[in-house]
Amino acid sequence: MNLFERIYDAHLTISGHPITWREILGNLFGFASAIGGMRRKVWAWPVGIIGNAMLFTVFLGVGITNTGSGPLFGQAGRQVFFIITSIYGWWIWNESRKLRGADKPAISPRWATTQERVGYLIVWVAGVLVTQAVFAKIGAGWPAERWYYWCDAWIFVGSMVATYAMARGWNDFWLAWVAVDLVGVPLLWHSKYYPSAILYVIYAGLVIYGFTVWLRATRTEQPTPVEVAA
């Protein structure tokens, strides 16, 4: 292999399971982005985009060597939508920060309104119904059982809802991530993406803590016009 190939497929072998550095680093960037999101820092978005790009290649199974893990199309596809939604969130938070000042958090969190909550729940349910059928039609690259496509669809759509809610500054996004992790961790472990599964367990603790941090801010801060109108 040439130098690029060696770097691209560099991996560790832990207990007989090869794990690419792309998966490890992609998750570390994702974790850093989550911390930045909890602290309401604009840099959380570009950092997250870097991690999404790395994980896209991991979950799609794009590699020169065989890592022993099958492709997860839902997981790979959601990285693309993460990037798109992150650009939207990056813009909202940056515009809000201009009004609030560079020394303050980018946004002030709030709960989604009843109309907003009903809207994203409808999108979540309808999205799962549609995407599980699409994923089943595409196939998984191996004889996957039907439950696999439902799980992948749940993670795919739920992640989009959570990321959009974060961009809008809704407290609901933390709860959406809990719902995603309850399905995502077992599926990742089952599919031999061990670093991602372990990180998501750790991430669950950060989600709970971040939720309490945003709740406290909700009681004392008011959203800017940019956040409300976005």
Residue 209 is encoded by which pair of tokens?
A: 């803590």
Task: Specify whether the CB–CB gap between 92 and 40 falls below 8 A.
Answer: no
Could you tell me the pTM of the whole model?
0.80
E strands in the chain: 11-14, 17-20
- Number of helices and strands in the chain (H, E): 9, 2
**In terms of pLDDT, which residue wins out, 78 or 146?**
146
Which range among 24-38, 73-87, 109-123, 154-168 shows the weakest confidence by mean pLDDT? 73-87
- What is the 8-class DSSP label of residue 107? -
Q: What mean pLDDT comes out for the span 113-127?
A: 96
- Band of the pLDDT at 222, cuts 50, 70, 90? confident
- Band of the pLDDT at 227, cuts 50, 70, 90? low
Residue 106 is encoded by which pair of tokens?
A: 């980018």
Q: For the chain, what percentages of helix, strand and coil (3-state, to nearest 5) are there?
A: 75, 5, 25
- Band of the pLDDT at 118, cuts 50, 70, 90? very high
Residue 177 is encoded by which pair of tokens?
A: 């991530």
Task: Specify whether the CB–CB gap between 158 and 79 falls below 8 A.
Answer: no
Alpha carbon distance 12, 157 (integer Å): 31
Query: What pLDDT is attached to residue 106?
Result: 87
The mean pLDDT value of the chain amounts to: 83
Residue 71 is encoded by which pair of tokens?
A: 């492709």
Query: What pLDDT is attached to residue 194?
Result: 76
Top mean-pLDDT range of 24-28, 61-65, 82-86: 82-86
Bridge partners (DSSP) of residue 170 are 110
Whether residue 96 has pLDDT greater than 60: yes
**In terms of pLDDT, which residue wins out, 83 or 152?**
83
In degrees, to the nearest 5, what angle opens at C-alpha 169 toward C-alphas 218 and 156?
Answer: 135
- DSSP reduced 3-state for 142: coil
Query: What pLDDT is attached to residue 148?
Result: 85
Task: Specify whether the CB–CB gap between 152 and 134 falls below 8 A.
Answer: no
Query: What pLDDT is attached to residue 31?
Result: 87
Q: Please tell me the number of Cα atoms within 13 Å of 106 on its side-chain side.
A: 21
- Band of the pLDDT at 119, cuts 50, 70, 90? very high
Q: What mean pLDDT comes out for the span 19-48?
A: 89
Query: What pLDDT is attached to residue 199?
Result: 76
Whether residue 223 has pLDDT greater than 80: no
H-helix or E-strand containing 27? helix 21-38
Whether residue 13 has pLDDT greater than 80: no
Of 221, 205, 229, whose CA–CA distance to 35 is shortest? 205
Residue 185 is encoded by which pair of tokens?
A: 């961790």
Q: What mean pLDDT comes out for the span 132-138?
A: 87
Of 83, 71, 77, 82, whose CA–CA distance to 187 is shortest? 71
Alpha carbon distance 128, 176 (integer Å): 14
Q: What mean pLDDT comes out for the span 128-155?
A: 84
CB-based burial of residue 220 (10 Å sphere; 0-12 exposed, 13-18 middle, 19+ buried)? exposed
Query: What pLDDT is attached to residue 55?
Result: 87
